[in-house]
Amino acid sequence: VRHLLGIKNLTENDIHTILDTASQFKDVINRPIKKVPSLRDITIANVFFENSTRTRLSFELAEKRLSADVVNFSASGSSVKKGETLLDTVNNILAMKVDMIVMRHSSPGAPHYLSGKIPANVVNAGDGTHEHPTQALLDAFSMREKLGDLAGKKIAIIGDILHSRVALSNIFCLQKLGAEVMVCGPTTLIPKYLPEIGVRVSHQVKEALEWCDVANVLRIQLERQQIKYFPSLREYSLYFGITKAMLDNLNREIVLMHPGPINRGVELSSDAADSSHSIILNQVENGVAVRMAVLYLLAQQ
């Protein structure tokens, strides 16, 4: 496999290989000397056509920990604003002897398109509403670290499922690892086909929380919604917002996750986000090791 375009086409074995490799890299980056020479002669371009904090910095740190040379490209401030195409942009970056492209783009399928046109490895860092494979891998890694084997574990993904690439990649990844998956949100924000692929659906956040071992909470993606504000943020917060009291009242352990960025006071109250249930910052920490594993394994192909 030369590219990581999504979770859909990975096998269970591929996922375990990535997670096991990430465990080894997590040990490495917790040592006083955090760098290894694994990608010393490799140059990687992080090509971001959409905003990012966690994914972009995490890839850059992963690349630097592996001793790769790194260049960063943001569409804003680039010649994309003068009309240069995606393919011309990337071919010009490759002309400077770049070996791998990590790409985020607002169009679903943009990394797939690119992977058929260029000789470099392509890693999808999020393509529109489609997939965000490294987020799903770091989420699975973080759940596995907390709960052990995910087979039979119950994971609820709560929020704007319709517009979320994190939801789709998580569903593929968790099902391949044998977990049971429920999605929960307003009817307007849940794709109708999900029951056909074995995903439970709930429209009651209390029911989802009572059912699950892990609640992976997503934000409302206003920037991707065609019909704005349905439900409004106020309505969403009223009916689907999760507070610390709701988690405490379960009287058992529940793991709270969120890929970020959090809209505090909408999908999560601050006291929930910062509670002992939350492993949100562990997810961010694990992102570096997981991305090191992905880049390292692709470089061997």
Cβ-based neighbour number of residue 78 at 10 Å: 14
Minimum gap (Å) between residue 104 Cβ and ligand CP = 8
Annotation: binding site for L-aspartate: 82, 165, 219
Distance of CA 295 to the CA centre of its chain: 15
Closest CA to 9 of 194, 169, 180, 150: 169
Written as one letter, the residue type at 48 is F
Q: Which is nearer to ligand CP, 39 or 138 (CB)?
A: 138
Minimum gap (Å) between residue 186 Cβ and ligand CP = 22
Minimum gap (Å) between residue 169 Cβ and ligand CP = 11
Closest CA to 279 of 298, 245, 300, 253: 253
Minimum gap (Å) between residue 55 Cβ and ligand CP = 3
Maximum Cα interatomic distance, the chain, rounded to a whole number of Å: 58
| H-assigned helices in the chain | 12-29, 54-65, 86-94, 110-115, 133-147, 165-176, 205-211, 233-240, 244-248, 270-273, 280-299
Q: Which is nearer to ligand CP, 51 or 91 (CB)?
A: 51
At which residue do the structure tokens 């920037």 appear? 223
Annotation: binding site: 54-55, 82, 104, 132, 135, 165, 219, 260-261
Minimum gap (Å) between residue 53 Cβ and ligand CP = 4
Which residues of the shown chain bind ligand CP in the complex (CB under 6 A)? 52-55, 126, 135, 259-261
Task: Note if the bond before 261 is cis, omega within 30 degrees.
Answer: yes
Closest CA to 141 of 22, 298, 288: 22
The per-residue DSSP string of 106-158 comes to SSTTHHHHHHTT-SSEEEEEEETTS--HHHHHHHHHHHHHHHS--TT-EEEEE
Annotation: binding site for carbamoyl phosphate: 54-55, 104, 132, 135, 260-261
Minimum gap (Å) between residue 283 Cβ and ligand CP = 8
In this structure, are residues 86 and 105 in contact, taking their beta carbons and an 8 Å threshold?
yes
Minimum gap (Å) between residue 245 Cβ and ligand CP = 26
Q: Which is nearer to ligand CP, 142 or 202 (CB)?
A: 142
In this structure, are residues 189 and 183 in contact, taking their beta carbons and an 8 Å threshold?
no
At which residue do the structure tokens 């989420």 appear? 139
Q: Which is nearer to ligand CP, 55 or 216 (CB)?
A: 55
